[in-house]
Every structure is written in structure tokens, then in C-alpha cells.
């Protein structure tokens, strides 16, 4: 006999609360378990971009090489730097910066650009972030070819102790310590994921964020020691950079670039770069998890 009143009817099951840290962490873990999916999609993105191109993804390497060469030649003359050490410095810095730039700019629109998949593919939203970061890692790998070409050309100048104009300390030169760039880049990639998660969620809700970030990122490029280095500040102030050094030190992107670039060039590296990057890793992931906890379920409605 069917119940005839609301009192006799069984109560509907309560919907599970989606705003929990457990579900936020489960989203990240679920995305990692689906690594074959986002790895395949990221590789297909590159193949699709260079479809019907004769040399395909090699255009990535050629574009990076010509840009690094032009900037290195120009700024070595402007800052009176030796080309043998300054061109590798600009090349390595620009390769790392290009990865950071891609993560930040594409990260703001990572959910907006994947609107169709988010609405029709039942998968963790972190999958789309990992797909984008993996695509940028592949770009970085292509661009790294330019670094090895420059390293071969200027190998004698980089494998012996050297100083760049304005440097106070002498750099030991490229050695096996260059392998320290591997954990440095891994840490940069870990930070890239939370940056895309956090800014991707915020940008999905507030569509004014992407153009604002795109406008400021070009300004930040010139404030980051990519085509200039901190030693220049010591040179123009007779060995004491003073408050001008804060231009670099207060820029967090400088520390992210330095933990990868310094080992690649055989330069001395202060431990405080790792401390700053480690602090941003902890704080950034905490903020990303808070955003995931509160707004992860709303992304599909906002796109």
C-alpha cells in the first residue's frame, strides 16, 4: 500500500555537502589518476595547433631562438655585457619566463576555454588545469633545445669561473650542479597548478580578471631580471644596489626564475630563493584549496 500523506512518505536522502576540503582534495587526486586523459589531450593540443605545418612544433623552438637572440644582442650592447655569458643568461631566463607567462595567461581562462568539456564530460575540474600545465611543459621542453644550442656555442665561457658586469661574486661555471634545475623546475610546475586553479576559478566568476592580468604581465616582464640582471643595479650604484635591489627581491617571479636559471648557467644561488618559492607554494596551495572547497561545484554554472 502506497503512503497517502506526507507524514507517511519516506524522507528524501540529504544531498551530500560539496563544500568540504575532502571533496576538494578528492578532485585533485581524481585528476591525477586520470593523467592518461589530460596527457593525451595536452599532446593533441600541440598537434592540432601545428596541423598541416611542414616542421610542426619546431616553430616553437625557432620562435624562441630568434627572440632570445634578438634580445640578447640588443641588451648586451645596452648594458655593456659580454655576449658569451649574457646571451645564455637571457636565453635561459626567457625560456623560463615563457613557461610562467603561458601558465598565468592561459590559466585565467582554463575553465572558460573548456566550457563544453566541463558541461558534458564528468571529470574533476583539475583535469583541465593539468592538461594546460602539461601543454606548457611540452612547450618548455621544445624551447629548452635553444638553451642547449647556446650552451654548446658558448661552452668555454660558461664552464669556467666567470663574472657578469656588475656582479660582486664570481660564478663557478656550469657543472653537474646544473641538475639542480630539475627539482627547481618541478617546484615551478607544482606552483603552476595552484596558480591556474585559483585564478581560473576567480576569472570564471569575474570575467574582468583575465584582461587585467594580461595588461600587467607585460609590465612585470620588464620588472623581472630577464633581459637585465641584478648586478646592473650594483654597477650603477658603485657596488651598493641599495633600495633598487628591492625591485627584484620584492618580485616573486624573480625567485621562481632564479631557482631554475642559476643552476643552468652555473651561477651561485642564495638559499633565500628556495625559501621564498617554498613559502609561496604552501600559501598558494592553501588559497587554491579554499577556492576549490567553496566554489568548485559552481564552476560548471559560471562558464
CA distance 128 to 22: 20
Residue 162: strand, helix, or coil: strand
Q: For 224-255, what is each residue's pLDDT tens digit?
A: 999 888 877 766 555 555 666 777 788 899 99
> What cell does 171 get?
660564478
Q: For 109-135, what is each residue's pLDDT tens digit?
A: 999 988 888 888 788 999 999 999 999
Q: For 90-110, what is each residue's pLDDT tens digit?
A: 999 999 999 999 999 999 999
CA distance 151 to 174: 9
CB 106 within 8 A of CB 136: yes
> What cell does 169 get?
661574486
Residue-level pLDDT at 119? 84
DSSP result, 15-64 = PPP--SHHHHHHHHHHHHHTHHHHHHHHHHHHHHHTTT-SSTTHHHHHHH
Rounded average pLDDT over 35-40: 91
CA distance 267 to 172: 6
Lowest mean pLDDT among 9-23, 54-68, 134-148, 185-199: 9-23
Amino acid at each position: 500500500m502506497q503512503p497517502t500523506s506526507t507524514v507517511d512518505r519516506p524522507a528524501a536522502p540529504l544531498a551530500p555537502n560539496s563544500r568540504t576540503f575532502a571533496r576538494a582534495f578528492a578532485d585533485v587526486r581524481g585528476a591525477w589518476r586520470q593523467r592518461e586523459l589530460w596527457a593525451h589531450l595536452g599532446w593533441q593540443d600541440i598537434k592540432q595547433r601545428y596541423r598541416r605545418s611542414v616542421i610542426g612544433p619546431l616553430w616553437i623552438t625557432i620562435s624562441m631562438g630568434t627572440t632570445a637572440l634578438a634580445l640578447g644582442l640588443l641588451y648586451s650592447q645596452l648594458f655593456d655585457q659580454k655576449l658569451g655569458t649574457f646571451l645564455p643568461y637571457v636565453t635561459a631566463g626567457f625560456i623560463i619566463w615563457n613557461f610562467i607567462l603561458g601558465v598565468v595567461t592561459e590559466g585565467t581562462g582554463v575553465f572558460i576555454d573548456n566550457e563544453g568539456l566541463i558541461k558534458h564530460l564528468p571529470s574533476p575540474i583539475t583535469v583541465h588545469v593539468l592538461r594546460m600545465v602539461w601543454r606548457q611543459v611540452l612547450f618548455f621542453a621544445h624551447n629548452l633545445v635553444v638553451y642547449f644550442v647556446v650552451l654548446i656555442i658558448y661552452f668555454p665561457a660558461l664552464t669556467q669561473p666567470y663574472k657578469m658586469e656588475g656582479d660582486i661574486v664570481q660564478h663557478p661555471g656550469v657543472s653537474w650542479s646544473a641538475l639542480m634545475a630539475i627539482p627547481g623546475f618541478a617546484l615551478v610546475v607544482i606552483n603552476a597548478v595552484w596558480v591556474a586553479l585559483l585564478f581560473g576559478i576567480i576569472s570564471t566568476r569575474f570575467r574582468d580578471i583575465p584582461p587585467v592580468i594580461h595588461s600587467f604581465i607585460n609590465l612585470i616582464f620588464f620588472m623581472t631580471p630577464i633581459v637585465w640582471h641584478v648586478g646592473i643595479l650594483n654597477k650603477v650604484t658603485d657596488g651598493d644596489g641599495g633600495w633598487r635591489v628591492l625591485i627584484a627581491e620584492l618580485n616573486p617571479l624573480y625567485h621562481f626564475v632564479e631557482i631554475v636559471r642559476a643552476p643552468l648557467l652555473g651561477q651561485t644561488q642564495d638559499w633565500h630563493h628556495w625559501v621564498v618559492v617554498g613559502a609561496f607554494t604552501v600559501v598558494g596551495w592553501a588559497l587554491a584549496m579554499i577556492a576549490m572547497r567553496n566554489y568548485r561545484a559552481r564552476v560548471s554554472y559560471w562558464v
